[in-house]
Amino acid sequence: MNCLHFHSLWQTHQDLYGHQTKQLGQKILQSLTTVKNQLPVKSCVIIDGQALVQTIGKPANARNFGQLAAVFVRSVFSHFSETCSRVDVVFDRYEASTVKDGTRLQWTGKSRPIRRKIENSDVPLPVNWKQFIDHPENKQDLENFLSLEIMRRAKSTSQNCDIVTAGGFQERTAAESSLGSDVSCLRSTRDEADTRIILHARTLTTQGFQRIVVHSRDTDVLVLLVHFANQLSPEIWFRTGTAKQRTYVAVHSININQALSKTLPAFRALTGCDTVSQLCGSGKNNGLEEIQTTLLTAGWPSTCDSQ
């Protein structure tokens, strides 16, 4: 008689088992096909705001939050071009008493975050940036400050380019366009920028944007883009990496099993994520191979439909 083997979710000292998110991203990229030269089409960019904050960090020549905001806004504006007429900046929410809030607390390790309010642009930057940015209330304050600065600076320019930002304002569901466009459909109570990005991508698709470039360092975003790819623009690019080493992934060219793409979010969660422990002794590589084998045994095609 065959017995079922249940893997532990917890270690003996009650911590969640860590997960290797990059393994899943690397597996997905193995299905990437050759990308041909791209023609100029109506394009837009979606930026994970907190990821950009982490990339910029504490600029060498910035002394206060106003100067930090100037660096942030310049980075956002740099994406406009002859074909790119819109940039969306999407932020996480940092609500207390959530499972994710507990995970973020673990990430800080032995660091002791220090609370600092940002009353205006003249407030000096903290000496220890990590102690500042590790505090969730500081992050939320900074995102609100940056969101307001983006709108203020964008509206003061004569460029006919639209910047939309959401998630970072003090009001949880607020979304705003620098050109006054109707962005009511982007009002959302979601905490994670990951899922907000998909909402923005879907909205931009319905507005006729043929190429969407998503800037993020989070494999979760790649997983969601692959999962929803057939509902989004013909070209979906995922830009990741660091300022020194950037990588562009053509999500629309990832030739993956259709059934597998539908199960990716569930697989990602059940094999370990920010709020769910990895099963002891079972990583993402083994789990993904088992699912692929099961799907093939059940008669699913090895790749997506030709569409």
The reported pLDDT for the residue numbered 21 is 53
CB burial string 184-200: b at 16+ within 10 A, e below = eebebebbbbbebbbbb
**CA 82 centroid distance within chain:** 25
Top pLDDT among 95 and 151 is at 151
Cα 79 from Cα 72, distance rounded (Å): 12
Average pLDDT, whole number, for the chain?
A: 79
Element (H, E) at 238: strand 235-241
Enter the tokens of residue 9: 């979710």
Task: Read off the pLDDT of residues 23-51 as tens digits, 9 standing for 90 and up.
Answer: 555 555 555 555 455 668 899 999 999 99
Which is more confident, 239 or 257?
A: 239
Torsion sign over Cα 182, 73, 245, 58: negative
pLDDT for the residue numbered 246 = 83
Cα–Cα–Cα angle for 276, 134, 15, nearest 5°? Answer: 30
Q: What is the pLDDT of residues 282-305, one digit of tens each?
A: 555 555 555 555 544 555 444 444
pLDDT of residue 306: 36
Alpha-carbon gap, residue 248 to 250, rounded angstroms: 7
pLDDT tens for 255-281 read 777 777 777 777 767 665 555 555 555
- 8 pLDDT exceeds 60? no
Residue 135 has pLDDT above 80, yes or no: yes
Q: Which SS3 state, helix, strand or coil, does residue 52 take?
A: helix
pLDDT category of residue 200 using cuts at 50, 70 and 90: very high
Backbone angles phi, psi at 58, to 5 degrees: -105, 100
